[in-house]
Amino acid sequence: MDNPSPAQPSRTAGSSFRYFYAAFGVTALGLVLGAWLGWENTGTLSGTLEIFFVVAVLAVLEISLSFDNAIVNANKLKDMTPLWQRRFLTWGILIAVFGMRIIFPLLIVVVAAGIGPWEALRLAASHPEEYAHIMHEAHLPIAAFGGTFLMMVGLSFFFDHEKDVHWVSWLEDRMARYATVRGIEVAVVLVLLLTFGRFLEGAERHLFTVAAIWGLLTFLMVEVLSGFLDAKEQVMSTAAKGGIGAFLYLEVLDASFSFDGVIGAFALSQNLFVIAIGLGIGAMYVRSMTIMLVEKGTLTQYRFLEHGAFYAIIALSIIMYAQSLVAVPEVVTGLFGAALIGVALWSSIRWNKRHCGDE
């Protein structure tokens, strides 16, 4: 009875499945829609099975890329009021599924091709090859923007002078001590983007640099706006904590996580609707994992899990930078992030066993 931390997860493992009932339902519906699209587009059993398989693979890919997203969401959500938690888990998932998986790719084509939204939708439906080509052409600025934003998210976790739990002690202790140096995260990001920019030439270097700076400015603006909005909410209600500002932060964070997956999905399918179904299924699992992590207190039970997630975020941001130079398969990105989180979980379990009698 004195040993709840390591034992509780195993006793309640079966109850964890209840968090995924909605995701299972969406999975079944999505796979049926994928099969229907396959039949409508090809009229053959082989074509139907092919699109069915692509939808399933896209869902698995999105889930593998999103472990760290769920952990970071849970880290922020645990400090939000129940009202804003519910808003993020309802409105937020709608924005994530429909906004980032459907509207965002359309907007990229609208801007890149200089056409209207309706024309972009017609292009996606009638000329998917051309649509996919435009999406791939836009990958460089998207990778620079998303990589910079995620790098700032990751570094801000470690450059925190109040952080006293360290996983990789020799590194994290130094980062926490240097956190008092004003703007050190910004300096690290600027060094990285200038380094990667040196390997690009002409217009590509300019595009990469400008997009990366916009990613940096977006992070800083979201931080300032989040603080301002939450401060106003705090004045209106002393119980308010982590309200609209935190909601906005999480939405931009989800968008940054989604950039790479949305672009990479076109390597598996050029059909916007197939991609939206597959990634939408994955997004539902992210929501389910986030709720489970918050309600079960998993982040407190496994003390290094957050560390693994933020290391995975930094790794993802560097991979996004590297994609401006070489092609990196999405499977590699997902497996690398999942491996970091797995090692962090293993380290947390070992720590629990070593210190189970301390309390």
pLDDT for 275 beyond 60: yes
Beta strands in the chain (DSSP E): none
Q: What is the per-residue pLDDT for 346? A: 93
Domain ranges for the chain: 4-354
Q: What is the per-residue pLDDT for 221? A: 83
* pTM > 0.75: yes or no: no
Residue-wise pLDDT for 283-297, tens only, equals 788 788 888 887 877
Own/partner pairs, 80-84, CB within 8 angstroms, 24+ separation:
80/241, 80/242, 80/243, 80/246, 80/247, 81/239, 81/240, 81/241, 81/242, 81/243, 84/242, 84/243, 84/244, 84/246, 84/247
How buried is 269 (Cβ within 10 angstroms: 0-12 exposed, 13-18 middle, 19+ buried)? Answer: buried
Residue-wise pLDDT for 295-333, tens only, equals 877 777 888 888 888 888 888 889 889 888 887 776 677
Measured in residues, the chain has a length of: 359
| Distance (Å, whole) CA 344 – CA 338 | 10
| Residue 155: closest CA among 177, 179, 173 | 179
Q: Give the highest mean pLDDT range of 84-93, 137-146, 200-209, 264-273.
A: 200-209
Nearby residues of 249 by Cβ (< 8 Å), 6 or more positions away: 76, 222, 223, 226
pLDDT band at 260 (very low <50, low <70, confident <90, very high): low
| Distance (Å, whole) CA 122 – CA 113 | 13
Q: Say how many C-beta atoms besides its own lie within 10 A of residue 258's C-beta.
A: 24
Give the residue-averaged pLDDT of 35-58: 84
Residue-wise pLDDT for 68-121, tens only, equals 777 777 877 777 777 777 877 778 777 766 677 677 777 777 877 777 888 888
Residue-wise pLDDT for 333-358, tens only, equals 767 877 888 898 899 899 988 877 55
Q: What is the per-residue pLDDT for 237? A: 45
**Residue that wins the pLDDT comparison between 29 and 328:** 29
Q: What is the per-residue pLDDT for 209? A: 92
User: CA 241 → CA 72, 80, 224, 232, 359, distances in Å?
Assistant: 17, 6, 16, 11, 30
pLDDT for 190 beyond 90: yes
